[in-house]
Copies of this chain bind each other. A is one copy, B any other.
Amino acid sequence: MRQGVLDAVIGLLMRDGVQGITMDRVAMEAGVAKGTLYVYFKNKEEILDAAVEASFEPLIVELTGIMDADKAPDKRLEDFSRLNLQFFDEQQDLIRILFYDRERIHSEKNRFNDDRYLTLLSKVAEVLNEGVDTGLFAPMDSMKIAAMFIEANMGMVMQRIRDGISGDVEQDARQIISIFMEGLRRKQ
């Protein structure tokens, strides 16, 4: 039931965007009565939050798993990029939710989203630090670089979407890693 409602929200979110979400529509889409929504969720905000949470859960879990994997740091970052691109290729409409989500990141109300994002951020920073410790990377302010890395990945995701998912994931993931590993400069 709860899950059914969340699925309905995700569906509507994908189809009509955040502004298109009304409790009426959610109820209809979920095939329950409007009042039922309030049995499981306190109010609209809570439904939206739960839906966003639910839709990114799998990605977060997998990305976190990757960050903890037993591989070289640069390989893990590459896996991160690959998985990220894949996920949004398949769920590109979720981008819209992501932006909804991101806006909330900086709102005072929603600590949870902050936490989730920040946890991932820290995980990436840890991997960068590992890379520094093992002599793979030069010393850096790892939190800032982690933020850059995540956002750069999202930039690539969005550009792919604008292009209509052109090019394959593998190649774009390597492209990201190549830049972060080697920079843009031509090697002579």
Q: Which residues of A contact B (CB under 8 A)?
A: 17-18, 95-96, 99-100, 102-103, 105-107, 118, 121, 128, 131, 135-138, 140-141, 143-156, 158-163, 167, 172, 175-176, 178-187
Contacts and interface: CB of A to CB of B under 8 A. Distances in A.
Contacts of A155: 147-152
Given A99-B106, A186-B136, A152 B143 contact: no
A143 to B, nearest CB: 6
A135 to B, nearest CB: 6
A106 B102 CA distance: 14
Nearest to A96: B106
A88 to B, nearest CB: 12
A140 B175 contact: yes
